[in-house]
Amino acid sequence: MFRTKYFARLLPITAILFFYAPDLARADTIVLSTGFESDMVGFRSPGAIVGDGNFTVSGTGSFAVFSGSATVTCNPQAGILSQCFSITSFRNEPSLITSLNTFGPGNYTLVFDLAFTSIIPGNRAVVSLGNYTEQFAVISPFQTFTRNITLTTGANLVFSNTGNLLPTMYLDNIRLTRIEQASPVPEPATLILLGTGLAGVAARVRKRKAKESQEV
Protein backbone atom coordinates (compact mmCIF):
# COMPACT_ATOMS: atom_id res chain seq x y z
CA MET A 1 0.00 0.00 0.00
CA PHE A 2 2.78 2.36 0.96
CA ARG A 3 4.69 1.74 -2.24
CA THR A 4 1.60 2.34 -4.38
CA LYS A 5 0.90 5.71 -2.76
CA TYR A 6 4.58 6.63 -2.92
CA PHE A 7 4.77 6.12 -6.70
CA ALA A 8 1.39 7.81 -7.16
CA ARG A 9 2.86 10.96 -5.63
CA LEU A 10 5.95 10.70 -7.82
CA LEU A 11 3.94 10.46 -11.04
CA PRO A 12 2.85 14.14 -11.25
CA ILE A 13 6.38 15.30 -10.53
CA THR A 14 7.79 13.04 -13.26
CA ALA A 15 5.22 14.38 -15.72
CA ILE A 16 6.18 17.98 -14.91
CA LEU A 17 9.87 17.23 -15.36
CA PHE A 18 9.21 15.47 -18.65
CA PHE A 19 7.21 18.44 -19.92
CA TYR A 20 9.71 21.13 -18.91
CA ALA A 21 12.96 19.27 -19.53
CA PRO A 22 15.01 20.74 -22.41
CA ASP A 23 14.95 18.91 -25.73
CA LEU A 24 18.45 17.50 -26.17
CA ALA A 25 17.93 16.26 -29.73
CA ARG A 26 19.96 18.27 -32.27
CA ALA A 27 17.86 19.35 -35.25
CA ASP A 28 20.33 20.42 -37.94
CA THR A 29 18.91 22.37 -40.89
CA ILE A 30 19.98 22.06 -44.52
CA VAL A 31 19.96 25.67 -45.75
CA LEU A 32 21.33 25.06 -49.26
CA SER A 33 21.43 21.93 -51.41
CA THR A 34 22.00 21.47 -55.13
CA GLY A 35 23.27 18.89 -57.58
CA PHE A 36 22.32 21.08 -60.58
CA GLU A 37 19.82 18.38 -61.49
CA SER A 38 16.88 20.67 -62.30
CA ASP A 39 18.98 23.06 -64.43
CA MET A 40 18.72 22.79 -68.19
CA VAL A 41 21.96 21.71 -69.85
CA GLY A 42 23.72 24.56 -71.67
CA PHE A 43 25.70 27.76 -71.28
CA ARG A 44 24.74 30.54 -68.88
CA SER A 45 25.17 34.31 -69.07
CA PRO A 46 26.00 36.64 -66.16
CA GLY A 47 22.91 37.24 -64.06
CA ALA A 48 21.50 33.76 -64.69
CA ILE A 49 20.19 31.67 -61.79
CA VAL A 50 21.71 28.20 -61.46
CA GLY A 51 22.10 25.45 -58.90
CA ASP A 52 18.41 24.60 -58.56
CA GLY A 53 17.67 28.27 -57.82
CA ASN A 54 20.44 28.75 -55.23
CA PHE A 55 23.16 30.70 -57.08
CA THR A 56 23.56 33.65 -59.43
CA VAL A 57 26.26 33.86 -62.12
CA SER A 58 28.62 36.82 -62.45
CA GLY A 59 31.90 37.66 -64.17
CA THR A 60 33.29 37.52 -67.68
CA GLY A 61 34.08 33.82 -68.02
CA SER A 62 32.20 30.90 -69.49
CA PHE A 63 29.55 29.11 -67.45
CA ALA A 64 27.77 25.88 -68.31
CA VAL A 65 25.57 23.13 -66.93
CA PHE A 66 26.53 19.82 -68.46
CA SER A 67 25.52 16.19 -68.09
CA GLY A 68 27.64 13.07 -67.95
CA SER A 69 31.21 13.67 -69.02
CA ALA A 70 33.09 16.73 -70.24
CA THR A 71 36.77 17.04 -69.32
CA VAL A 72 35.80 15.38 -66.05
CA THR A 73 32.85 13.13 -65.26
CA CYS A 74 30.09 14.58 -63.06
CA ASN A 75 29.86 12.93 -59.67
CA PRO A 76 26.80 10.66 -59.60
CA GLN A 77 24.24 11.27 -56.89
CA ALA A 78 22.02 8.40 -55.68
CA GLY A 79 23.37 6.20 -58.47
CA ILE A 80 21.94 8.27 -61.34
CA LEU A 81 23.64 10.12 -64.17
CA SER A 82 24.49 13.50 -62.71
CA GLN A 83 24.63 17.04 -63.99
CA CYS A 84 27.27 19.46 -62.79
CA PHE A 85 28.44 23.03 -63.36
CA SER A 86 31.61 24.47 -64.89
CA ILE A 87 33.22 27.89 -64.48
CA THR A 88 35.96 28.79 -66.98
CA SER A 89 38.02 31.94 -66.52
CA PHE A 90 39.54 34.16 -69.23
CA ARG A 91 42.57 36.48 -68.91
CA ASN A 92 42.70 36.56 -65.10
CA GLU A 93 39.20 38.01 -64.89
CA PRO A 94 36.99 36.76 -62.03
CA SER A 95 34.19 34.33 -62.80
CA LEU A 96 31.97 33.16 -59.99
CA ILE A 97 28.64 31.96 -58.66
CA THR A 98 27.25 33.49 -55.45
CA SER A 99 24.47 32.14 -53.26
CA LEU A 100 21.26 34.14 -53.45
CA ASN A 101 20.75 33.70 -49.72
CA THR A 102 22.87 35.30 -47.03
CA PHE A 103 23.54 32.96 -44.13
CA GLY A 104 23.46 34.34 -40.61
CA PRO A 105 25.90 33.83 -37.74
CA GLY A 106 26.24 30.26 -36.51
CA ASN A 107 27.99 26.95 -37.08
CA TYR A 108 27.75 25.27 -40.48
CA THR A 109 28.99 22.21 -42.32
CA LEU A 110 29.77 22.75 -46.00
CA VAL A 111 30.05 19.72 -48.31
CA PHE A 112 30.86 20.01 -52.02
CA ASP A 113 32.29 18.02 -54.92
CA LEU A 114 35.04 19.86 -56.76
CA ALA A 115 37.32 19.30 -59.74
CA PHE A 116 39.73 21.83 -61.24
CA THR A 117 41.76 21.71 -64.44
CA SER A 118 44.50 24.16 -65.40
CA ILE A 119 47.61 24.14 -67.59
CA ILE A 120 49.16 26.88 -65.43
CA PRO A 121 50.23 25.65 -61.97
CA GLY A 122 49.52 29.02 -60.35
CA ASN A 123 45.81 29.09 -61.20
CA ARG A 124 43.43 28.38 -58.33
CA ALA A 125 39.78 27.69 -57.68
CA VAL A 126 38.46 29.50 -54.60
CA VAL A 127 35.64 28.66 -52.19
CA SER A 128 34.59 31.24 -49.60
CA LEU A 129 31.96 31.73 -46.94
CA GLY A 130 32.47 34.57 -44.46
CA ASN A 131 35.87 34.23 -42.80
CA TYR A 132 36.44 30.88 -44.51
CA THR A 133 38.40 31.06 -47.78
CA GLU A 134 40.23 28.14 -49.37
CA GLN A 135 42.16 27.82 -52.62
CA PHE A 136 42.38 24.61 -54.64
CA ALA A 137 44.98 23.64 -57.22
CA VAL A 138 44.49 21.01 -59.93
CA ILE A 139 42.01 18.30 -58.86
CA SER A 140 40.81 15.57 -61.21
CA PRO A 141 38.62 13.59 -61.01
CA PHE A 142 36.05 15.03 -58.60
CA GLN A 143 36.80 14.97 -54.90
CA THR A 144 34.35 15.52 -52.03
CA PHE A 145 35.30 18.13 -49.43
CA THR A 146 33.74 18.73 -46.00
CA ARG A 147 34.43 21.90 -44.05
CA ASN A 148 33.13 23.04 -40.64
CA ILE A 149 32.65 26.80 -40.63
CA THR A 150 31.67 29.32 -37.94
CA LEU A 151 30.11 32.57 -39.14
CA THR A 152 30.21 35.63 -36.89
CA THR A 153 28.33 37.81 -39.38
CA GLY A 154 26.05 37.16 -42.34
CA ALA A 155 27.78 35.91 -45.49
CA ASN A 156 27.15 34.44 -48.95
CA LEU A 157 28.65 31.23 -50.27
CA VAL A 158 30.92 31.92 -53.28
CA PHE A 159 32.68 29.62 -55.75
CA SER A 160 35.10 31.56 -57.94
CA ASN A 161 37.75 30.98 -60.57
CA THR A 162 40.31 33.62 -61.55
CA GLY A 163 43.12 32.59 -63.85
CA ASN A 164 44.63 32.66 -67.31
CA LEU A 165 44.53 30.24 -70.26
CA LEU A 166 41.12 28.76 -69.48
CA PRO A 167 41.33 27.13 -66.07
CA THR A 168 38.02 25.41 -65.33
CA MET A 169 36.30 24.77 -62.02
CA TYR A 170 33.72 21.96 -61.86
CA LEU A 171 31.10 21.79 -59.10
CA ASP A 172 28.53 19.24 -58.00
CA ASN A 173 26.50 18.14 -54.95
CA ILE A 174 26.82 21.31 -52.86
CA ARG A 175 25.19 21.19 -49.43
CA LEU A 176 25.32 23.67 -46.55
CA THR A 177 23.90 22.60 -43.18
CA ARG A 178 23.35 24.82 -40.16
CA ILE A 179 24.37 22.99 -36.98
CA GLU A 180 21.96 23.55 -34.10
CA GLN A 181 23.77 23.06 -30.81
CA ALA A 182 21.94 21.09 -28.12
CA SER A 183 22.72 21.96 -24.51
CA PRO A 184 23.12 18.94 -22.19
CA VAL A 185 22.72 21.18 -19.13
CA PRO A 186 19.18 21.25 -17.63
CA GLU A 187 17.51 24.63 -17.33
CA PRO A 188 17.47 26.26 -13.86
CA ALA A 189 13.69 25.93 -13.69
CA THR A 190 14.00 22.19 -14.25
CA LEU A 191 16.51 21.86 -11.41
CA ILE A 192 14.26 23.84 -9.08
CA LEU A 193 11.26 21.65 -9.93
CA LEU A 194 13.32 18.52 -9.39
CA GLY A 195 14.66 19.68 -6.03
CA THR A 196 11.25 20.84 -4.80
CA GLY A 197 9.56 17.62 -5.86
CA LEU A 198 12.13 15.35 -4.23
CA ALA A 199 12.12 17.41 -1.06
CA GLY A 200 8.34 17.14 -0.87
CA VAL A 201 8.39 13.39 -1.33
CA ALA A 202 11.13 12.97 1.28
CA ALA A 203 9.17 15.07 3.79
CA ARG A 204 6.03 12.99 3.28
CA VAL A 205 7.97 9.75 3.71
CA ARG A 206 9.55 10.99 6.97
CA LYS A 207 6.18 12.18 8.26
CA ARG A 208 4.52 8.84 7.50
CA LYS A 209 7.35 6.86 9.12
CA ALA A 210 7.20 9.08 12.22
CA LYS A 211 3.43 8.59 12.47
CA GLU A 212 3.72 4.82 12.06
CA SER A 213 6.43 4.63 14.76
CA GLN A 214 4.22 6.60 17.18
CA GLU A 215 1.29 4.28 16.53
CA VAL A 216 3.47 1.27 17.30
**210 pLDDT tier (thresholds 50, 70, 90):** low
Amino acid identity, residue 124?
R
Dmax over Cα atoms in the chain, in whole Å?
Answer: 101
| Beta strand residue intervals within 13-104, DSSP E | 29-34, 42-44, 49-50, 55-59, 62-67, 83-88, 95-99
Tens of pLDDT, residue by residue over 7-58, are: 455 445 554 444 444 555 668 999 999 999 899 999 999 999 999 999 999 9
pLDDT reported for residue 162 = 86
Tens of pLDDT, residue by residue over 115-145, are: 999 988 889 999 999 999 999 999 988 999 9
Determine what percent of the chain is predicted with pLDDT higher than 70: 67
Three-state DSSP class for 179?
strand
Whether the per-residue pLDDT at 163 is higher than 70: the answer is yes
- Other Cβ atoms less than 10 A from the Cβ of 17: the count is 14
Tens of pLDDT, residue by residue over 52-102, are: 999 999 998 999 999 866 567 887 665 556 789 999 998 888 899 999 999
**197 pLDDT tier (thresholds 50, 70, 90):** low
Tens of pLDDT, residue by residue over 179-193, are: 997 655 555 555 555
Whether the per-residue pLDDT at 201 is higher than 80: the answer is no
Angle at 168 between CA 167 and CA 169, to 5 degrees: 130
Q: Report the mean per-residue pLDDT for the chain.
A: 81
- Residue 185, strand partner residues: none
